[in-house]
Homo-oligomer: A and B are copies of this chain.
Amino acid sequence: MDQRVRTIGVDLGGTKIKVAVVDETGTILRKTRVATPTEGGSEAVIREIVRAVRELQGADAERPEALGIGVAGQVGPAGDTVRFAPNLGWLDVPLKAALQTQLDLPVALLNDVRAATWGEWLFGAGRDCENLICLFIGTGIGGGLVCGGRVLDGSSNSAGEVGHVTVDLHGPPCTCGNRGCLEALAGGWAIARRAREAVAADPRAGAGLKKLADEQNEPITAKLVARAAHRGDPLAGQIVAEVLEALVAGAVGLVNAFNPRRLILGGGVIEGLPELVGQIDLGIRTRALKAAWEGLQVLPAQLGNDAGVIGGAAFARRSFSLKGEPS
């Protein structure tokens, strides 16, 4: 009688592991969240994932049919190994096989931002759309591309690194080794860097930011810059204006190159500065090619922090061609 196809989505980050049982409509039936173990290496993390998944399974009369896991790191071309995950300290971890063996479930592995793209595409701001770009602007910047109704993997499974498009070839250094990347101008870490440098360079102009940071007993972060900008602090406002300029430049390039129907903006920086969505939209309409922007919709992401688990679960469903798949 129950036609639901349940799959499990896991979102594995450097600080948290999120696990959810999701049905074929993208609805989360149950979820849990645990801290990512920081000791014991990948074995400890895998043990914790298995424990959390079993706990969720135990509460359920019906067994989920597969599991999809998005990992904050680089997944190998075959989709079985986490090649490099700096926030986890992982190098070449055969995560898919480990989880399949321990959980006796088919497991599909992908990058966490790719998973969030699957979520937003099928069940969030991207529903019923064949061509879209997701741009997630958090501490770093990543994204995903859907073209002709397919999520692009690229030739070695690394497509979607849209935080590393160059928007200012003489710009500041990026953590990737290049300079002037979109992320180096508009990622959360770059906003914090820029603000700290500005405060150090001109303490008078930086007095407002400094005071807010002292009051809240926290360092100068992108979140703090957003808050200060909303309170009218001129330096914070200037920094946010520069972030907007970089985001428009990056978005214009992507829109001109891909001609998507939708550009979906999510991540912590957008959540802290939601007005950026409309401003980026306006910037694109001012600067991109008319043929590229005239049918474009610029939308905020809808699934927030659940995008990863919902997308991971959907990816598992699609990977193993389970029933309940809408297309």
Q: Which residues of A are at the interface with B, using a C-beta cutoff of 8 A?
A: 74, 77, 83-84, 130-131, 145, 147-148, 150, 152-162, 164-170, 176-178, 180, 245-246, 249-250, 252-254, 256-261, 287-289, 291-292, 294-296
Contact = CB atoms under 8 A, between A and B. Distances in A.
A257 B145 contact: yes
Contact of A158 (B164, B177, B246, B289): B289
A147 B148 CA distance: 10
The DSSP consensus for interface residues of chain A is loop
Given A167-B167, A169-B167, A178 B259 contact: no
Given A168-B170, A180-B249, A258 B148 contact: no
A259 B157 CA distance: 7
Contacts of A131: 154-155
B289 A164 contact: yes
11 contacts: A130-B155, A131-B154, A147-B159, A154-B259, A156-B261, A158-B292, A159-B257, A161-B289, A162-B257, A166-B249, A178-B287
B168 A168 contact: yes
Contacts of A161: 256-257, 259, 289, 291-292
B156 A256 contact: no
A160 to B, nearest CB: 7
A155 B257 contact: no
Contact of A155 (B160, B162, B249, B260): B260
A162 B288 CA distance: 12
The 6 closest A-B pairs by CB, nearest first: A154-B259, A165-B253, A155-B261, A158-B291, A166-B249, A159-B259
Given A77-B295, A156-B295, A178-B288, 15 more contacts: A148-B153, A152-B259, A156-B259, A156-B261, A156-B292, A157-B291, A161-B292, A164-B252, A165-B165, A166-B167, A166-B253, A167-B167, A167-B169, A178-B287, A253-B253
